[in-house]
Structure 1
Amino acid sequence: MIALLAWLLALPPLIALSIFVLETLLGLGRLREAPPPPGQPETVILMPAHNEAATIGSTLDRLQPALGQNIRLLVVADNCTDDTAKIIQSRGHAVVERHDPENRGKGFALAFGCDHLLASRDERTLECVVVLDADCETDAASLSTLTRTCVARRVTVQSRNILREASDAPAKVQMSSFAFWIKSVVRQRGGMRLGGAVLVTGTGTAYPWALFKTLPLATSNIVEDLAIGIHLTRNRQAPIYLDSASVRSAAADETATLSQRTRWEHGFLQTARTFAFSAIHDGILSRNRKLLHLGLHLLVPPLTLLLLVSLTALAATGVLAWLGGDWSAFVALAAAILLAAAAILLNWAVEGRRWLSARAMLQLPLYMVWKLPVYLGFVRGKSVGWVRTERTDAGTEQRP
């Protein structure tokens, strides 16, 4: 009986760790990608912005070299109370203003922008829409590759979404940036090599216009990008990941990192709780391999929580093994934790050192303790919505 209890405790983290190890080992190294066919498709960059007057000018200046050649910008100034719209207009870019304080969220802003495009005279020639956050930057080569791949393959394409390296940032910020890279790059590569699904990460995402205008965008979901990816995969229109196109943004400062991670991780956990098992069930019944993989992917909690749960379960199975004499569950779980640690270290050695220094890595136990309030808040049912995110460089980011 004690041995059975030990296995019941060990099995959930064992499953999650196994999926994580497989994805992260397969995610080692860049993907080999065939270049898309020539010819720049007619593209609109759709950028939601809320009270971005302090930084929108520099964002537009960085983006300007990537525009032209059938690529234009449309900004949705969403519930702004500052000069965001005026600054955009002064630089010669299209902007539409939305005022609806009852319906806040990036999804509503995207839906508003989509409706504007549907009503425009260019709707019939439009081929591709790229969603880009107002705090992100990209380059002409990435945009060209992203949009040409999207239109040629008629599929949603998620680019390589990373945070800028900051070797002088506090250890907590570095570890958060490293965990973000594991989630948004390494595991995406693993998903592609498995032939499974990848996630939409909310910025640097290209959609065929014929598909984008049919999406259920108008939602207050704090992880609307994840919900869109699930919707697409369920409908056998699973997104793909493109390593050769990149978008970048600055990491949040130390104080804002915790609130930012709280928003992201609560949203992920809520979505996973709702969709993971149904995606696995439906993927098996419908023989939809990508949906099955997406369900399995959702079973893996954020990296810090995965380690916390696994180590707690290891301690519990160790106590049960000492009481009952059967160490099999403890050994299996310990081996899985060691494999996960090895996979993380391999990825860090290959590329992850750009975001996490060896000195900062030594503070992992403190980082895990620092993250505990995030998960305790989720257990208590504390709701999370829009928050301002203070960045490590000049300016701030505000999400609608």
Structure 2
Amino acid sequence: MLIWAVWLLAVPPIFVLLIFTAEALLGTLRLKPVAVSGPLPSTCILIPAHNEASIILDTLERLRPLLSNDIRLLVVADNCSDETARLVRQAGQPVIERLDPDKRGKGYALAFGREHLRSSPPDCVIVFDADCETDTVSIAALAKYCVGTQSVVQARYILSPDCDASAKVQISNFAFWFKNVVRQRGASRLGGAAVLTGTGMAFPWLKFEQAPLATANIVEDLALGLYFTQIKDAPVYLEEATVVSAAASEAATLEQRSRWEHGFLSTAKSHGLRAIFEGLTQPNRKLFQLGLHLLVPPLALLLLASIAILLLLGAIGLLTGYWFAFAALAATIAAALSLVLVNWMIEGRAWLSLGALLRLPLYLFWKLPVYLGFARGRDVGWTRTARRGDGTETMPGD
């Protein structure tokens, strides 16, 4: 009975670590380029914007060279209390305003924009956050691949490298890259669905038209990806297209990760095992693999939980002399950490300096309040993420 109890403790983290290790191993190298050809389809870059007056003009200026007869822009000024809408009009770009304080969130803004587009729908809609930047090649690749395959497509979404930032921000940015690039590659090579990340998402109009957008879900992108995978229209990851966002301050980083990770954990809790079951019974391989992906918690939580169980197994081993479960879990933790290190050496050093990497144990403790808040059921609702230099971030100690 004791051996059974020990393995009941060890098997869940071993299983989850093996999923993570498989994705990390298969995501080590870049994907083989896909052929993106054909005429440029009519495309609308849809930008949901909430109180973005401090940055919206810079964003529009960066996007201006990308616009043409085939590529238009629409900004949804959603529940804004600043000059966002006026500044967009001043820049000569179309903007619609939405005011409904009881229905706040990106999903509602996207649904409002969709209603506006119905009178003259484009072939492709690209959802783009107000703090991001991209290039002509990426937009063209997204639009052509999206319409050519009639698939929902996710671009490579990364944060700007900043090795002058604090160790906490660097590690968080590295984890963001690992999730959005390395694990996306791994899932793609396994034949699984791409995980939608909220920006750089391209939709064929017919799929965008039917998508369940009007929701306050704080991870509406993850929920959308799950929806399309369930109906066997799984999103595709396109590494040839890149979208970049500026890193947030340390305080804003913790707030942003709290919001996203609480939403991810809630979605994983309610849909992870169900997706695996439905994927097996339908059958739907991509849904099954997405369910496996959802079982893997954020990297910091994965390491914290695995190490805590390893220490418990070590204590049991000292009392009983039974070390097999301890050795199995230790080996899987070592394999996962080794692949994190390999990926860091190949590409990850752009986001994470060696000095910051050595502070990883401190980062794990920094993230504890995020997970304790989730365990206590503390609600983290939708809020605008403060960005560096926009005059709205809350700095540590403020």
Same fold (TM over 0.5): yes
TM bracket, shorter-chain basis: over 0.9
Per chain length, whose mean CA-contact separation is higher, i.e. which structure has more relative contact order (CA < 8 Å, sep 6+)?
1
Cα RMSD of the aligned pairs, angstroms, is 1.2
* CA deviation after TM superposition for structure 1 residue 389, in Å: 2.2
**Residue of structure 1 equivalent to 2:57:** 57
Question: Which of 119, 124, 130 in structure 2 is aligned with 1:128?
Answer: 124
**Residue of structure 2 equivalent to 1:85:** 85
**Residue of structure 2 equivalent to 1:25:** 25
Question: Which of 350, 355, 378 in structure 2 is aligned with 1:354?
Answer: 350
* CA deviation after TM superposition for structure 1 residue 49, in Å: 0.3
* CA deviation after TM superposition for structure 1 residue 321, in Å: 1.6
Quick check: 1:6 aligned with 2:6?
A: yes
Quick check: 1:109 aligned with 2:140?
A: no
Q: Give, in whole Å, the separation in 1 of the partners of 2:256 and 2:287.
A: 28
**Residue of structure 2 equivalent to 1:100:** 100
- SS at structure 2 position matched to 1:245: strand
* 1:229-308 alignment, distance < 5 Å: 229-308=225-304
> For each residue in 1:287-330, what CA deviation from the matched residue of structure 2 results, as whole angstroms up to 9, or x when unmatched?
21000000000000000000000000100111112222221100
- SS at structure 1 position matched to 2:367: helix
* 1:189-268 alignment, distance < 5 Å: 189-268=185-264
**Residue of structure 2 equivalent to 1:316:** 312
Contact 1:150 1:157 in 2 (8 A): yes
Identity %: 56
> For each residue in 1:136-189, what CA deviation from the matched residue of structure 2 results, as whole angstroms up to 9, or x when unmatched?
111111000111000011100000000000010000000000000111111000
* 1:355-394 alignment, distance < 5 Å: 355-394=351-390
Structure 1, unaligned runs of 5 or more = none
**Residue of structure 2 equivalent to 1:15:** 15
How many correspondences in the alignment? 394
**Residue of structure 2 equivalent to 1:43:** 43
Contact 1:127 1:208 in 2 (8 A): yes
**Residue of structure 1 equivalent to 2:71:** 71
- SS at structure 1 position matched to 2:210: coil
Q: Give, in whole Å, the separation in 2 of the partners of 1:25 and 1:205.
A: 25
> For each residue in 1:262-299, what CA deviation from the matched residue of structure 2 results, as whole angstroms up to 9, or x when unmatched?
00000000000000010000000012100000000000
* CA deviation after TM superposition for structure 1 residue 7, in Å: 0.9
With the length of structure 1 as denominator, give the TM-score of the two structures.
Answer: 0.97
* CA deviation after TM superposition for structure 1 residue 243, in Å: 0.6
Q: Give, in whole Å, the separation in 1 of the partners of 2:207 and 2:126.
A: 12
* CA deviation after TM superposition for structure 1 residue 131, in Å: 0.2
Contact 2:279 2:287 in 1 (8 A): yes
> What amino acid does structure 2 have at the position aligned with 1:144?
A
Quick check: 1:162 aligned with 2:174?
A: no
Q: Give, in whole Å, the separation in 1 of the partners of 2:89 and 2:35.
A: 35
Contact 1:2 1:324 in 2 (8 A): no
Structure 2, unaligned runs of 5 or more = none
**Residue of structure 1 equivalent to 2:335:** 339
15-24 or 60-69, larger mean C-alpha shift = 60-69
Q: Give, in whole Å, the separation in 2 of the partners of 1:292 and 1:197.
A: 10
Q: Give, in whole Å, the separation in 2 of the partners of 1:298 and 1:288.
A: 15
**Residue of structure 2 equivalent to 1:329:** 325
* CA deviation after TM superposition for structure 1 residue 30, in Å: 1.1
Contact 1:75 1:94 in 2 (8 A): yes
Q: Give, in whole Å, the separation in 1 of the partners of 2:385 and 2:205.
A: 30
- SS at structure 1 position matched to 2:103: coil
Contact 2:151 2:235 in 1 (8 A): yes
381-390 or 80-89, larger mean C-alpha shift = 381-390
Contact 2:216 2:382 in 1 (8 A): no
Q: Give, in whole Å, the separation in 2 of the partners of 1:231 and 1:79.
A: 27
Contact 1:55 1:395 in 2 (8 A): no
> What amino acid does structure 2 have at the position aligned with 1:97?
E
